[in-house]
Amino acid sequence: MGGSHIAEKLKDNNLYHFCVFSDNILATSAVVNSTASNSNNPDLVVFHLVTDEVNYAPMKAWFSMNSFRGVTIEVQKFEDFSWLNASYVPVLKQLQDSDTQNYYFSGNSDDGKTPIKYRNPKYLSMLNHL
pLDDT of 63 over the 80 cut: yes
Model-level pTM?
A: 0.77
Q: List, as one string, the DSSP characters of 12-71.
A: -TTSEEEEEE-S-HHHHHHHHHHHHHH-S-GGGEEEEEEE-HHHHHHHHHHHHHS--TT-
Tell me the C-alpha distance between 76 and 107, whole Å.
33
Those residues with Cβ within 8 angstroms of residue 25's Cβ, 6 or more apart along the chain or in another chain: 55, 58, 59, 62
What value does the CA radius of gyration of the chain take, rounded to a whole number of Å? 18
pLDDT value, residue 82: 85
Tell me the C-alpha distance between 107 and 93, whole Å.
22
What mean pLDDT is predicted for residues 74-96? 80
User: Which range among 10-24, 56-70, 91-105 shows the weakest confidence by mean pLDDT?
Assistant: 91-105
The residue length of the chain stands at 130
* 30-57 tens-digit pLDDT: 999 999 999 999 999 999 999 999 999 9
